[in-house]
Structure formats: C-alpha cells, structure tokens
Structure 1
Amino acid sequence: MPSTSSVLSAYTTFTASAMLVRTVIKEVQTLTNQIIPKPIQELILSKLGGFVRNQASPQMTIIIEEFNGYSMNQLYESSEIYLRTKINPSFNRVKVSKSPKEKSLTLTINKGEKIIDKFEGIQLIWEITTKDEKDRKHDATKNRVIELSFDKKYMEQVLST
C-alpha cells in the first residue's frame, strides 16, 4: 500500500495538471471572445452540432474547509502539508511564517494560487481560496478553503483513496 505522502503527492500532481488545463481553456475562451464576434461564434458552434460542447468533461470540485464546526479539519491540515511540498519557483506569492518553537521558516501556498497535479493518471487542480461566513455575532469572517477539482468521471477513484 502506498504511503500517505506518496498518495498526497499524487493528488497534488494531478490537481496541478487539471488546473493548468482549465486555465489554458479559459484563456483560449477569453481570446476567442475578444477576436471573433459573438454571432460568428454561435454560427460556428451550431455548424459543429454541439461537438465542442459535448467533448468538454464536467468538473467536480471538492471543498475542504479549514474548520469543521469549531475544530480543525484534519483533511485540510493534511492537504496543506502535502501542498507545501509542491511549492516551486513558478509561484508568484507564498506565505512565510515561523513560530518560536520552529527552527526554520514555514512556506505555505497563498490564496489564489493553483497547483496542477496528477494522481493515477487523473489530473487534479488544487486551489487555495477563502469563504466568507458570518459568525454568531454577525461579523464577517474569512475561512480558508482548499478546492480540489477533477473530471467527474473519476469521482469514485479520487474519493476512495
């Protein structure tokens, strides 16, 4: 049985790959919308008979919140530790911290960064975001969230590991 770190590593690789593909597709769509007028786009899509739309695979996104009620979500902690191993020079921003008990700096992926990863041939996209919520005092709070996105057809495979 593979170790936890190798499984998380595989998840991260898969997610980062999925995020890259999603980003490329969004950029192509944006570029197309800027260059080709909307009526011509609709004409092309109607002539293709929906072929392009049917080829795009729907994405599933799993939301991993930092807290589960008032306690820390262990899955969030594990995912965050795994994602730290994926920090590389291509990132624009990383968070750095050091507590009095630690001997070295701790690097963490910053909000908005995406990591495309591959796990058992499945592309996974990890993204760090925040979720606005109201607490009991009705003050707005921001909870950290990790979003894990992948092709829906791999849902059982991803969730079972």
Structure 2
Amino acid sequence: MAVPLEEFITDFHVRLTWIAFFTLWVLWGLVYTIRFILGENNKPTPQADAEAGATTSEKKTWNQGGFVGRLRNAHQVLFENTLLLLSVLVLNTLATGSTRAVMILAWIFFAFTVVHAFTEIGVEHRFVRLAFTLVFYGVTLAIGGLAFAQGF
C-alpha cells in the first residue's frame, strides 16, 4: 500500500533527497552566473559564424575552446543533470516510492555531477564524458525503477 503523499514528503530521507537536488541547482546557477561575469556573450555573432565557416545548424555545444568554452561545457553538464535529477525525483515523489535508497542515489548523482563539471573545466575527452554519462543514466534508471517498484 502506498504511503500518503503528505507523509512521504515529510520523511527525513526525502527531505535530504530534495536538498541534494537544490544544491545541484544552486551550483548550476552559480556557474551560469560566472559565465556571464567572465564576459561570455551567449549569442554568437554572424561574423563569428562566417569566420568559422559554420551554419546555424552546425553550431557545436561542446569543445568551444578556451576557459569560457570549458566553463560553458561545465554549465551544460550541470544544466542537463539538474533536469535529469529533477525528472526522476518528481517521479519518485509523485509515486511515493523509495526514500532512503533514492536519497543515497541522489547524493551519488550530485557528487558525480560535481566531479564531471570540474573535469569538463580541466579535461576535454569523449571517453570521460561517456563514462560519466553511463553513471548518470544508470543512477536515473535506478531511481525511476525504485519509484515504480516501491510506489504507485
């Protein structure tokens, strides 16, 4: 039998789960802000596109070069992982699914995201991204699976 939502959201582990999400959200917002403090213009100029020989459809998100480009990559990691974590935590909360296991997985997800974001600033490598992506995908699948196994 499912736990009532009011009882579920007052659980200590659920609270810590959402604190992990909020902490990730704060970090994402911080990097987002730092990008603009450092002077990133987020809107490519037509002249820059012409010089690079790129059309609008050929613009790349990754490997933009320089520190600001690496910071942009870290921001992309934080942005995408914040949305990934949000989606499975909402699913788990609405399902009144797992509490302690999801809390642990959320903090693991947070820790790997922080490491990955800082790795993006220092190292640009596809295989590193692939390894982190597999971890994130596995953790989000586990949280989603727990939501269905112990909730609804």
TM-score w.r.t. the length of structure 2 is: 0.31
More strand by share: 1
TM-score w.r.t. the length of structure 1 is: 0.29
